[in-house]
Structure 1
Amino acid sequence: MLLALAIGDAYGAGFEFAERSKIEQHNNLTHYEQHGLGIKPGCYTDDTQMSLAISELLIEQQPWTPLNIANKFVSCYKRDRRLGYSSGFQHFLDSIEDGAELLEKINPHSDRNGAAMRAAPIGIIADIAQLLQFAKMQAQITHDTPEGIASAQAIALAAHYFIYALGDKSALTAFVSEHTATMWDDTWQAEVPCSAWETVNAVLTLLSHCDSAEQILLQGVNFGGDVDTVTAVALAIASQSTQYRQTLPEFLTRDLERGVFGHDYLAQLGEQLMALKR
């Protein structure tokens, strides 16, 4: 899951809020593009780094508390500072030392997609009631709004649906809607803003209608807007199902970053996360 998430993140990052002309010219699955912020081709962003934080906490089986979650967010950022966070949140992370300070000083009332983008690993939790609780708690740290919480729960549920092979992809949106008491939409066609609602709808659209990992990447980027979050989350979730052809161009794995927290770390951590399946 985590390797697929990073590939979707790194590929999508080259097109995040890019001009339509760049998408039309270069969204062809032949190479990683450089992000407008200067993020090097093949490098992932905050979507992956925060998902690593969630995954590590699950694997370590520490108590699922706001302080432990916040400490993970801060420590993962401090050990490997990278671009991709919103400028305001990045400045905030640079200004604090630990999770306690994060909880003390943050304004948590965002309705953007930050809580959803990191929620896919929570899908490994077998008990749906516990899954919903875990997704809600991690969302409340930074996105304590109805939109922030429901979107995080929706992404965790979508991952859970495929990890535990609960049904056909055509029934995914109904499953997620039932367990979040929210009517999600899988007919998204427009540019994707950083909003929690629209991001989940775009992800569900890809998962409901695509048949392969390649199609998810191409169509996800073609939406335009916050496409690295959409492609990262959708590819991570689809990687857990045989309902999607998993063939991808070799460059996506070959050219993914290889640093301390790059390809090999992602693959190893992903195996440890999946080992939690009950």
Structure 2
Amino acid sequence: MIKDALYAFVIGDAMGVPLEFMSREKLNQHPVTKMIGDGSHNLPKGVWSDDTSMTLATMDSISTTHAIDCDDIANRFCDWINYAKYTATNLVFGVGKITQNALFRYWNQKKDATKCGGTSYLENGNGSLMRMLPIAFYCYNCHLNSKEIYSIVKNVSSITHAHEISILGCYIYVCYILLLLSGKNKIDSYQLLSQQDYTMFSSDSLEQYKRILSSELLSLSVDEISSSGYVVSTLEAALWVILHTDSFAQAIIGSINLGNDTDTVGAITGSMAGILYGYSSIPQKWIDSLEGKDSLNSYLSSFVHTMDNNW
């Protein structure tokens, strides 16, 4: 399952990179259905972004420490942003301002990493949501309860994004991944989201996710879905695509053609689709086009070994 989800995540990320910031109107006129290069960042096809880099850094930390060590994770994020570790082509690009500011605070002050994330309402981008996939697998393998999951998600999100809305988005995403990993189908998993434990969160934050937690996404049209970098919109978009498509390729193509924050929406959608449809459902030509597969496979192998042998 880890390979299925991670490769699907990276595929969604890489396919979304050249389309980032493009409008939905433009993509409706000229939809993208294959791995392409150039585009928004003028990069070769198959290059992944910060979504995958921070996910690999998180995996590497867990593989090394056999724990959730937020300072260690933050140090690895700094290795990425300062030295281009965990990148596909030794190039760092597209780093979110909220993430950049938080890591700057950590790098310069060496304070508790969980105290470095942005805390204002305006700092609720998707920069912590995009790196939660390894946390979901950690929680699944450790058989954690809701309070334990919340504690880990809160701490890991708070390295860069400490506002409750961001933490709640990460928590909902992890819960959905855990439901899929338990073998439930996509619809049942979605409808069960409303029954998870949210007693740790304020009513104001829960209101932001009303459309997700009320099962409203099942009846919304694509025109009612935003695909911006706001954490709520990103999660809504990914879930909406999953609920309204029936194959891996449909999910990825559907997600990246929403426009705007295409790499993160593609990556989050991909992680879900990978669990649902499996690695074998990913078109081989998309896998062949990925840059940095040796590095990707190395971090994947270590993480799988850790998950298989330590719990």
Q: Could you list the runs of 5+ residues in structure 2 that have no partner in the other structure?
A: 86-90, 199-205
What is the alpha-carbon distance in structure 2 between the residues aligned to residue 86 and residue 234 of structure 1?
Answer: 19
The answer to whether the 8 Å contact 2:114/2:155 transfers is: no
Structure 1 residue matching 2:118: 3-state secondary structure: coil
Instruction: Look up the equivalent residue of 2:298 and give its one-letter code.
Output: Y
The structural deviation recorded for 1:89 is: 4.3
- After superposition, the C-alpha distances for 1:47-103 in whole angstroms (9 at most, x for unaligned) are 011111222222334442432232232224334251121257448757974782684
Which residue, 154, 158, 164 being the options, matches 1:136? 154
**Aligned residue in 1 for 2:30:** 25
- Per the TM alignment, residue 211 of structure 1 is displaced from its structure 2 partner at its CA by 1.4
Contact 2:118 2:158 in 1 (8 A): yes
Match of 2:201 in 1: none
Count of aligned residue pairs for this structure pair: 274
What code does the residue aligned with 1:21 have? K
- Please say if 1:208 is aligned against 2:243: yes
Tell me whether 1:112 sits opposite 2:154 in the alignment. Answer: no
Tell me the equivalent position of 1:161: 179
Is 2:136 the partner of 1:123?
A: yes
1:15-164 equivalences in 2 (<5 Å): 15-19=19-23, 20-22=25-27, 24-29=29-34, 31-77=35-81, 78-80=83-85, 81-86=91-96, 89-90=99-100, 97=107, 100=110, 103=113, 106=116, 108-109=118-119, 110-124=123-137, 125=139, 126-129=143-146, 130-164=148-182
If asked which structure has higher relative contact order (CA below 8 Å, sep 6+), I would say: 2
Select which of 215, 227, 231 maps to 1:192. Answer: 227
* Matched residue SS, 2:158: helix
Structure 1 contact 74–98 (Cα < 8 Å) conserved: no
1:233/1:26 CA distance change after superposition, 3 Å: same
Partner of 2:285: 251
Give the counterpart letter for 2:32 in structure 1: N
Which stretch has the larger CA shift, 168-177 or 212-221? 168-177
Higher share of residues assigned helix? 2
Alignment partner, residue 269 of structure 2: 234
| Corresponding position of 1:268 | 301
Q: Retained in 1: the 8 A contact 2:181–2:275? A: yes
Name the % identity.
Answer: 20
Structure-1-length-normalised TM-score: 0.84
| Between 154-163 and 170-179, the greater mean CA deviation after superposition | 170-179
Q: Given the alignment, which residue of 17, 20, 34 partners 1:13?
A: 17
CA contact 1:199–1:230 (8 Å) conserved in 2: yes
Matched, 1:4 2:11: no
Taking structure 2 as the reference length, what is the TM-score of the superposition?
Answer: 0.76
2:202 match:
none
RMSD: 3.0
Over 3 Å counting, the alpha-carbon distance change for 1:75 and 1:249 in structure 2 is: same
| Greater alpha carbon shift after TM alignment, 37-46 vs 92-101 | 92-101
List alignment gaps of at least 5 residues for structure 1.
Answer: none
User: Take 2:221 and 2:151, find their aligned partners in 1: how far apart are those partners?
Assistant: 28
Q: Is the alpha carbon distance of 1:191 and 1:97 closer, same or farther for their aligned partners in structure 2, counting shifts above 3 Å?
A: same
Report if aligned partners of 1:59, 1:276 keep a CA contact under 8 Å in 2.
no
Q: Which runs of 4+ in 1 moved over 6 A?
A: none
In 2, Cα distance between the equivalents of 1:6 and 1:93? 23
SS in structure 1 at match of 2:77:
helix
